[in-house]
Amino acid sequence: MPKIAIVTGVLLALLGPIFYFLGEAGHRSLTAFIPVPFGLLIAGSGAAALHPARVKAAMHAAAMFALVAMLGSLMGMKKWIAFATGQPVTNPLAGVAQFLMFVICLVFIVLCVRWFISNRRARLAA
């Protein structure tokens, strides 16, 4: 699971530069880089979890950072609804980036919860 945290963090960290440079020159916003610190925190927690003594705490930290990032990405929900209903959207790239951030974090959180539960069951069975 620590390796999945690292991959998740790298994906989030890449979202920022990719969507920044996909934007039209002159209409680019530094807010495109918001996923980067969350990605770095998640990847850093995953790297810390590679050490056996730190797995539990580091993976809980990674899950917490992903939860905060996921909740923050919900700010784009109005744009997602507009996309789904065919309404015009002022900044469609931002909506796509927020949606990808939401999905990446949601998948990671689900994987973390499943991993925590299986580890707990394994400890209780031993």
In angstroms, the CA 18 to CA 4 distance is 21
Rounded to 5, what percent of the chain is helix, strand, coil? 85, 0, 15
Q: Are 19 and 39 in contact (CB under 8 A)?
A: no
- Answer yes or no: is pLDDT of 80 > 80: yes
- Answer yes or no: is pLDDT of 25 > 80: no
Each residue's pLDDT tens digit, 95-108: 889 999 999 999 99
Looking at residue 6, its amino acid is I
Q: For residue 36, which phi and psi values (nearest 5 degrees)?
A: -60, -50
Q: Is the dihedral of CA 73, 78, 81, 87 positive or negative?
A: negative
- How does residue 72 score in pLDDT terms, banded at 50, 70 and 90? very high
Count CB atoms within 10 A of the CB of residue 30.
8
Record the tokens describing residue 117, joined without a space. Answer: 């539960």
Predicted confidence at residue 77, as pLDDT, reads 86
How far is CA 97 from its chain centroid? Answer: 11
Higher confidence at residue 93 or residue 63?
Answer: 63
| Stretch 43-54: mean pLDDT | 94
- Answer yes or no: is pLDDT of 17 > 80: yes
Predicted confidence at residue 110, as pLDDT, reads 97
- Answer yes or no: is pLDDT of 27 > 80: no
Predicted confidence at residue 68, as pLDDT, reads 96
Predicted confidence at residue 69, as pLDDT, reads 96
